Each structure stands twice: as C-alpha cells, then as structure tokens.
Structure 1
Amino acid sequence: MASSRLLHLLALFIGAELVSARHSDPHIEHALKKRATTLIPDTVFSSQDELEEYFDYNYPWGDTHNGAALMSSAQVTIIDDAYLQLEAVYTGTQADNSALSYNSGTIYAKQYFTVEANGGLDFQANFVAPVAEGCWPAFWLDGVNSWPPEIDLAEWKGDGKISFNTFNTSSIVAAQDYTYSTPTTAWHTILVELRPESDDSTLKADFYINGDLMTTQYGAEMVGQPFYMIIDYQMLGSSGTSGPTENTYFDVQYLSVTSYNP
C-alpha cells in the first residue's frame, strides 16, 4: 500500500511538472460560481475589529515557527483602514531564546478551509512583499490534522522571487518560482483556485499573478482535508542566515476567500 501511494504521489508530481498551465473548464466554473459563498470578505482589513472577527494572532500552535522571529500582536497593524501591515523589527539575540533575533507578526484565520467534492475554494489578495535576504513572508495553507498537506499560495524567500509550492510529502513537492518586477513598491494580485479532480481525492491548484496563470499543481488526498490559512512574516530560516537590521514590512490588501462547496 505504501509503495502504491508513493507511485501515485510521484505521478502527480511529474504530471504537475509536465502539464502546461491551463485554465479550469469554463462550463464547470460557470456552474460553481452560481453557488459562491464569501467566507472572508475583501473588507477584512478595513479595521482592527474586522481583522479580529476573522483572525487570531500568531500561529495556531504558538508564537514561533522555523525562523528567527518571535510573533506578537504588537507587530500587526491596520493602516489607514485599508490594509494589513506586518512589521519585522531586528532585536539582536533575544534573552529568552538565542535562536530569535526579530520581533514580527503573523495571523491565522479562525475558521478551517476544506475543498469538498464537487466544490472549490478561491484565495485572493494583493501584496507588497519584502524580498531582501533574510525576509520570509508567506501566505499559506497548512494541514489541521497533520503535515503535510501544505500549499504555499505565495511565498517569498529572500531571493527576489515568488514561490508557489504544494507539499505531498516532505520530499515530493511541486514548486514554481517566478521573478516579478517591483515586488516592494507595487501591489501584486495573487489568486489561487483550488478544485477537486474527478477522483474526489486529488486537489488541483491553479496559481495566478495579476490575472496570469503561472502554474498548476496537484495534491494527493487533499480533498476533504481541513487547512489553516496563515499570513506570516517570518525571518531568516529558508530566506537566508542574515537579514536586515532596519524595520521591514509585509503589506496585504483586499484579502478574500470564496467557497463553491455544495
């Protein structure tokens, strides 16, 4: 059984690498859109109260994760009643934990997100993201019951690129990097459409930047699985071993989540 699952995962991974990016079937999409339900409205960052209606601070499991930043609500701000700002501040080595050298901000949605058979989810937001070495902002889905699954809806790892990733296992990962202009000075719209395949087990993910389809990836046995949604400004870790000493910011605007589940 284990070997057959591995072969299935490998087939999905290879298929994701070989398939040309394509749009979803317009007839199916038209039918889905008729039952669209807003789970998180694009006004969610219009006030601190609105933010706190839908999100909690830090990670679902605590205030640290795989990097050098300690998370706290003090680093999370709504700017001009218009957008979310996560601020990373260099502190030097922290007395309570020598592995930490930044204070920063992360939030996660209070609700879980699951793609059901014959349904789907859309995640969309605008971002201004720091891409200097040591800066590691991310917009991602993490399995509630286990890891994996994980889907990085958008991730920046200190190299000037944006990454889209789907983790079937820790080693079987579909990944796509894209270099785009003005990441730190202009808003860029990320849209990820999650849809079940016909086997009602495999999850298909279409990743878009500013309306252009960048890549299509697949996750085995992800249909029906609950996910956390996390907006995260971590430091160092996968983005490098040295980072900025000046304050840096990760901005998010017009976040929305739409469900097409039955």
Structure 2
Amino acid sequence: MRFVTMKTEEQLDMQTLHRVRDRLVGERTALINQLRAILLERGVTAPQGRSKLEQLLAAMFADDENRELGMLTGRIRSLVVDMRAEWADIDRRIAAFETEFVARAREDEAARRLLTIPGIGVMNATALIAAIGNGETFRRGRDLAAWLGLVPRQVTTGGRPRLVGISKRGNKYLRKLLIHGARAALPSLLTRATPLGGWLRTLTAKVHKNAAIVALANKLARIAWAVLRHGTTFEANAAIAMA
C-alpha cells in the first residue's frame, strides 16, 4: 500500500498561491482574447502576442486622429479603456505573486538547488516543492515523471504492445510548467558539450521538436527528483546518470 506524505503548511500555502496565480493568468488570457474579438469586429486586426497588442492599443489612444481609433464608437472606446485598466490590474496582481515566489525561492535551500537545473526556474522550483516536498513519496525519478503524465502511454492489441503519446495524467499544472521550461532550455542545451546536450542532439535528429521537448521535460522531472531526494545540486556531466 502506498501512502501520500502529508503536506506542511508552507507547502499548502505555496500550492494555493500557485493556483490563484494560474487562475489570474487564465482570466487575463480570456480578457485579451475578448479584447481582440471586439477590435476585429470593428475592422481592427491586432497582431499576435500580448506585448504587440499592448503597443497597438497604446498607439491608438495616444493619437485622437488615429485611423483605427476612429473605427470604434464612443461607447466601445470607453469599454476598451476599461478593459485595458482591468488588464493592467491583473498584470499587477500576477507580478506581485511572481515577486513573492522569487523571495521564497531565495529563502528555501531546496529551491535554490532546483534552480541549478537548466529549464527549472522560480515557478517550477516552488511548484515542485509545494507538490512533492523532498520527493520521498516516489521511489525513483520515473515514478515522478509518470505521476506528472510525462511517460508514454501503452496500447496493446493482438498481444503486441505499442507506445503512443504521453499519458497526460496526474498534475496538469506541473506538467505544463516543466514543458514550458524544457522548451525555453532546449536551444541552449543543444549547444552544450555535456551528456545531456549529446542526448538531446541525438534525439532531435530522430524525432519532432515537440516530442524532444516533452522528452526533455520528462528528463528534467527525473533530475529534479534526484536533486530533491539526495540533497545535491545539478551536475551537467552526471545528468544522464542521475536521471
């Protein structure tokens, strides 16, 4: 029988902070999408990217003679102004959470050790510690990767097993953070003369880039487990052995 380790109050607090921040990010995305739709209905096409949309709105409202601003009625102009203010408030709240995560990561010795791993930032480190503590619930790194849904799913037909996409089971939030971290770290890791870099170069030569990113996320989860469980820091030359 497997038992789940009880979380400390600090872990529960951190997990709650991450959940609230994730909700705010979702609300901001929904607000931006609605803002784009409102502009598009009036013939104003906004470029992709949050910062580019911000620049477009700033340019529109900086000049009363702006052609695109003239395509909006007075009521819609005031509505867009209100939505921009709401967007700025959500940004401020999200930034406050991120500042708190940075401060807590600096104070936590385990988080500082996780930050030595490429692709593991403050968000990943604090979320991992909040979810698994020192990793003693899992016997090995692969168990953590399986819990995160980062391992291949097996389909058997006619007595012949076949590996397909990842299972996507378990903690969706942590899986998302690790995949984002792997995507950000992949370009720099490919250029490094380390076992992890060599493994990635071999892998990317055989599979699609997205598959390599998920495989790297799996590897990062295993390395994170080893770092937490054994109280060590990341060693680039021992990365494959640790995982």
Interval containing the TM-score (normalised by the shorter chain): under 0.3
The structure carrying a bigger helix percent of its residues is 2
So what's the TM-score if we normalise by structure 2?
0.24
Structure with greater contact order relative to length (CA < 8 Å, sep ≥ 6): 1
TM-score by length of 1: 0.23
- Which of structures 1 and 2 has the bigger CA Rg? 2
Q: Could you say which structure has the higher strand fraction?
A: 1
